[in-house]
């Protein structure tokens, strides 16, 4: 029989209060608190904490406080990653971010969902995760929310305050709630 962690990682419905998962969230909260306490005055020490927390960090990353996540080990970022102030990454499922990606302030990634059955949803008892993937050269404007299961292709720009509820391919500029394509991105490498 699969453990609750295995269920979580496999995208199945899992019991959120499982002791192993509670302990892992506790470890992540300690690292997040240490990172946020360092503030901006100690960028090298802060990135050392992020490298302990995340599943992978490429070269040249920068994360500003206050940062929040559930587990940390489900976050994978490529080279030259930048996250501005107050980003939240609920990483029940993997969050994979390509190279040269920028996140504005207050950007939120939600990989977790809850059952429609209200009895299973009470007190946050059960969850289910759907991963989020960003290609290379993606810029997510401030205050945007990326919902569970979304994939954004390369060279996508997300307008500030957008709610991205579905996936989009390469080279587009999207905005709104729900986000939609407003035009092709003419700037490509």
What's the N-to-C CA distance of the chain in angstroms?
48
Q: What is the per-residue pLDDT across 25-35, written as a single tens digit (0 to 9) for each?
A: 999 999 999 99
Q: Active-site residue numbers?
A: 114
Location of structure tokens 């499922």: 93
Burial class (CB in 10 A: 0-12, 13-18, 19+), 67: buried
Question: How much is the CA Rg of the chain, to the nearest whole Å?
Answer: 16
pTM for this predicted structure: 0.95
101-115 residue pLDDT tens: 999 999 999 999 988
Q: What are the chain's domains?
A: 4-184 (2.160.10.10)
In this predicted structure, the answer to whether residue 6 has a pLDDT above a threshold of 70 is yes
Instruction: Determine the Cα–Cα distance for residues 38 and 53; give it in Å rounded to an integer.
Output: 15
């Amino acid at each position: 029989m699969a453990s609750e962690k295995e269920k979580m990682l496999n995208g199945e419905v899992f019991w959120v209060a499982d002791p192993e998962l509670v302990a892992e969230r506790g470890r992540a909260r300690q690292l997040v608190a240490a990172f946020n306490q360092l503030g901006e005055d100690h960028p090298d020490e802060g990135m050392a904490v992020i490298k302990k927390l995340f599943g992978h960090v490429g070269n040249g990353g920068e994360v500003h406080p206050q940062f929040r996540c559930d587990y940390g080990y489900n976050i994978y970022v490529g080279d030259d990653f930048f996250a501005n102030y107050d980003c939240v990454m609920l990483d029940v499922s993997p969050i994979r971010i390509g190279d040269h990606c920028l996140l504005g302030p207050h950007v939120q990634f939600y990989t977790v969902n809850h059952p429609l059955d209200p009895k299973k949803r009470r007190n946050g008892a059960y969850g289910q995760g759907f991963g989020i993937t960003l290609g290379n050269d993606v810029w997510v404007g401030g205050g945007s929310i990326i919902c569970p299961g979304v994939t954004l292709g390369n060279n996508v720009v997300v307008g500030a305050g957008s709610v991205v509820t579905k996936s989009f391919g390469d080279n587009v500029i999207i905005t709104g709630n729900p986000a939609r394509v407003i035009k092709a991105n003419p700037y490509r490498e």
